[in-house]
């Protein structure tokens, strides 16, 4: 589906017509990312991160396939095969650093993408399905990243596998059998490593499949935009190509420059030195933390220290899973008819507090479990849930929103004086 | 840069053929193209043999235990190598063949080292599609010409391991080697 004024696909050559009659693939591309897909004309740089996520998924799949050509999923040989890739394989160091840092950048991009959606209310009707499919992608990414981190079979890999599969042992009765079943043993070993490798190779393609559904469901209503006002006329849109292909292209180049700088000049900046020590099932590293992109969840996990009806361990695990599952209900928790945070002054304040809160959770998750950090993560975790379960519903009920522009084109083409007005403040009519 | 002047000139003349935007477009796409090539090269190069494989590119073989008429199979770069001590009859047989009869004309002398004509060292890789020919082991089929016989597709090699019959295009390859002493050969 698309807007009525979308340019229809017209093959220009005889061959193009011949193909279009038999396999309308060029037509599909034209209608999805070509001149036949009208997009709101006022998208800001926040909207570049969807395409960028796709680029990083591709980078991860390409470098991952290369690494799998050299990697052995063997408890005895995995660590050495990684060192072999680093030292002997042509450009192997580059492939591995591109993949390891690619994971971090994939998460950076996806987090910006998610928070953009949170700020501009992109999860609201009619885009609930887009939002939920995005969360499914995010969960799959977390599973994939975790299993990938286990593969080098260093100390952090091993103990990461031990701790994360340990989550399941928190559940009463069935927990421990599930943990043993997941590992294929009583501790991480050959069976766990081989299945993690198998699934680590599989899941990116599952992600790619869900990405297709995500884009499909997005293309039904079309992209949201910084005003949150729906597209009304042709004046509100621009064709995806050449306008957004150019913008996405230039932004991808700029962002990949930062990525390349990290890959080449600070490839281990985001990693842990302990993972260059081969796995040792008899000694845990003194300070075990997950990769940075899991820190907020790790902080929530550790925030529960007191048994209350249920054991503290189970509370921690439940809260950690709940912190993400909660987001599936977000479209129905935030009932405000106004989408964009730019027109919601109260929401905007709480949104900024949420950002700070998640950053604090991340800080706690990356720090040792000292009493200070445990206490801080308890406050921050409580606030995280309060934001979604209490604050958002109340804000959407009591907030006075700013007047919305009549249309996207009006908000874009409203003259110099209004253009210079502070974000979200309605300009005097000219 | 000349381009800017050209662009300005084009605007002055109202010439639509080279606009500033065309230049930016071509420059941007070219830049991306260079980037794509820079990424593609290591992606392709990584499939080449890694340093540890290249480090195994030479091997030493002790030939003191090989009696005339016997052969051994050894390994070089993970490929089989045949080392054969030819009998005087086999040398004679090989030298008696006129070069015009051969598909890949080479004399025995060209395939061995001077003064060591009885030592025939070849890869044990059929030049047809890479199977290991028979003829090294005791009692194995040595083909119609008394050298090696490849069971996969029926290539016959003579006593100098030259192709004589069957689909293979070339003689069994003679690797680079040198006699480190009378009893030790260094291959590769």
- Nearest Cα of chain B lies from the Cα of A231 at a distance, in angstroms, of 29
Which residue in the list A214, A247, A272, A313 is annotated as catalytic?
A247
Domain residue spans of chain A: 1-35, 37-288, 298-402
Q: Does A91 touch chain B (CB under 8 A)?
A: yes
CATH class of A37-288: mainly alpha
**DSSP notation for A76-110:** TTHHHHHHHHHHTSTTHHHHHHHHHHHHHHHHHHH
What is the per-residue pLDDT across A194-235, written as a single tens digit (0 to 9) for each?
A: 999 999 999 999 999 999 999 999 999 999 999 999 999 998
Q: Does B100 touch chain A (CB under 8 A)?
A: no
pLDDT score recorded for residue B15 = 55
Which residue in the list B153, B178, B181, B184 is annotated as catalytic?
B153
- ipTM score of complex: 0.82
Rounded CA separation A157/A285 (Å):
11
Enumerate the residues of chain B whose CB falls inside 8 A of the CB of residue A102. none
Residue A337: how many other CB atoms lie within 10 Å: 11
Query: Could A88 and B50 be called an inter-chain contact, meaning their C-beta atoms sit closer than 8 Å?
Result: yes
- Mean local confidence (pLDDT), A402-415: 83
Confidence of residue B4 (pLDDT cuts 50, 70, 90): very low
What is the per-residue pLDDT across A20-73, written as a single tens digit (0 to 9) for each?
A: 999 999 999 999 999 999 999 999 999 999 999 999 999 999 999 999 999 999
Q: Rounded to two decimals, what is the model's pTM?
A: 0.88
Confidence of residue A430 (pLDDT cuts 50, 70, 90): very low
- Nearest Cα of chain A lies from the Cα of B140 at a distance, in angstroms, of 38
Architecture field, domain B53-187: 3-layer Sandwich (2.102)
DSSP code, position A286: S
| 8 A C-beta contact, residue B174 and residue B121 | yes
Helices of type H across chain B: 2-13, 20-45, 51-54, 88-95
Rounded CA separation B132/B130 (Å):
7
Q: Is B153 a catalytic residue?
A: yes
Query: Could A91 and B46 be called an inter-chain contact, meaning their C-beta atoms sit closer than 8 Å?
Result: yes
What is the per-residue pLDDT across A298-348, written as a single tens digit (0 to 9) for each?
A: 999 999 988 888 899 999 999 999 999 999 999 999 999 999 999 999 999
Whole-angstrom CA distances from A129 to A135, A216, A329, B87 are: 10, 10, 11, 82
Residue A48, both tokens:
């570049």
B78 dihedral zone (left: phi>0; alpha: psi -120 to 50; beta): left
- Give the burial class of A399: count Cβ atoms within 10 A of its Cβ; 0-12 exposed, 13-18 middle, 19 or more buried: middle
**Positions of CATH 2.102.10.10 in chain B:** 53-187
- Which of B46, B52, B56 has the most A C-beta neighbours within 10 Å, making it the best mutation to test the interface with A? B46
């Amino acid at each position: 589906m698309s807007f009525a004024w979308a340019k229809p696909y017209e093959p220009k050559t005889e061959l193009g017509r011949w193909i279009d009659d038999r396999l309308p693939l060029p037509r599909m591309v034209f209608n999805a990312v070509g001149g036949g897909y009208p997009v709101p004309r006022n998208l800001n740089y926040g909207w570049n991160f969807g395409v960028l996520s796709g680029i990083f998924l591709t980078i991860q799949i390409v470098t991952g396939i290369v690494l799998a050509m050299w990697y052995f999923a063997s408890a005895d040989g995995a660590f050495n095969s990684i060192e072999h890739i680093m030292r002997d394989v042509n450009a192997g160091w580059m492939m591995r650093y591109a993949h390891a840092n690619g994971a971090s950048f994939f998460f950076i991009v996806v987090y910006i993408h998610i928070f953009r959606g949170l700020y501009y209310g992109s999860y609201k009707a009619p885009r609930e399905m887009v939002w939920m499919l995005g969360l499914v992608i995010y969960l799959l990414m977390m599973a994939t990243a975790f299993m990938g981190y286990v593969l080098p079979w260093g100390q952090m890999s091993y103990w990461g596998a031990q701790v994360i599969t340990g989550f399941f042992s928190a559940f009463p009765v069935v927990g421990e059998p599930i943990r043993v079943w997941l590992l294929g043993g009583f501790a991480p070993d050959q069976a766990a490593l081989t299945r993690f490798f198998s699934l680590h190779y599989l899941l990116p393609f599952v992600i790619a499949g869900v990405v297709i559904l995500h884009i499909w469901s997005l293309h039904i209503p079309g992209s949201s935009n910084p005003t949150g006002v729906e597209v009304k006329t042709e004046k509100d849109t621009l064709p995806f190509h050449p306008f957004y292909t150019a913008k996405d292209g230039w932004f991808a180049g700029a962002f990949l420059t930062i990525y390349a700088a990290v890959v080449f000049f600070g490839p281990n900046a985001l990693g842990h030195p302990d993972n260059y020590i081969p796995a040792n099932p008899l000694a845990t590293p003194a300070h075990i933390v997950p990769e940075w992109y899991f820190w907020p969840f790790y902080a929530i996990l550790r925030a529960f220290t007191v048994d209350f009806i249920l054991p503290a361990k189970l509370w921690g695990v439940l809260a950690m899973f709940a912190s993400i599952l909660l987001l599936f209900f977000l479209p129905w928790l935030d009932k405000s008819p106004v989408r964009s945070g730019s027109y919601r002054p109260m929401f905007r304040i709480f949104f900024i507090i949420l950002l700070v809160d998640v950053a604090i959770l991340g800080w706690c998750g990356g720090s040792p479990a000292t009493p200070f950090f445990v206490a801080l993560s308890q406050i921050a975790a409580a606030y995280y849930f309060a934001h979604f379960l209490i604050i958002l519903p109340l804000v959407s009920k009591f907030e006075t929103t700013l007047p919305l522009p009549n249309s996207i084109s009006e908000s874009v083409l409203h003259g110099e004086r209004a253009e210079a007005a502070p974000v979200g403040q309605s300009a005097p009519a000219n | 840069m000349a381009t800017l002047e050209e662009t300005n000139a084009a605007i002055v003349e109202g010439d639509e053929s080279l606009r500033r935007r065309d230049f930016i477009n071509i420059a941007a796409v070219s830049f991306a193209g260079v980037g794509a090539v820079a990424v593609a090269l290591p992606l392709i190069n990584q499939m080449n043999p890694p340093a540890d494989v290249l480090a195994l590119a030479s091997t030493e073989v002790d030939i003191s235990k090989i009696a005339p008429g016997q052969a051994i199979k050894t390994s070089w770069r993970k490929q089989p190598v045949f080392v054969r001590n030819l009998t005087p009859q086999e040398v004679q047989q090989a030298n008696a063949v006129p070069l015009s009869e051969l598909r890949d004309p080479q004399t025995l002398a060209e395939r061995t080292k001077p003064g060591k004509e009885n030592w025939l060292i070849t890869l044990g890789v059929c030049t047809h599609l890479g199977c290991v020919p028979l003829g090294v082991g005791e009692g194995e089929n040595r083909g119609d010409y008394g050298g090696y016989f490849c069971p996969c597709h029926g290539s016959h090699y003579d006593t100098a391991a030259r192709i004589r019959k069957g689909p293979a295009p070339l003689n069994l390859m003679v690797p680079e080697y040198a006699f480190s002493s009378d009893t030790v050969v260094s291959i590769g």
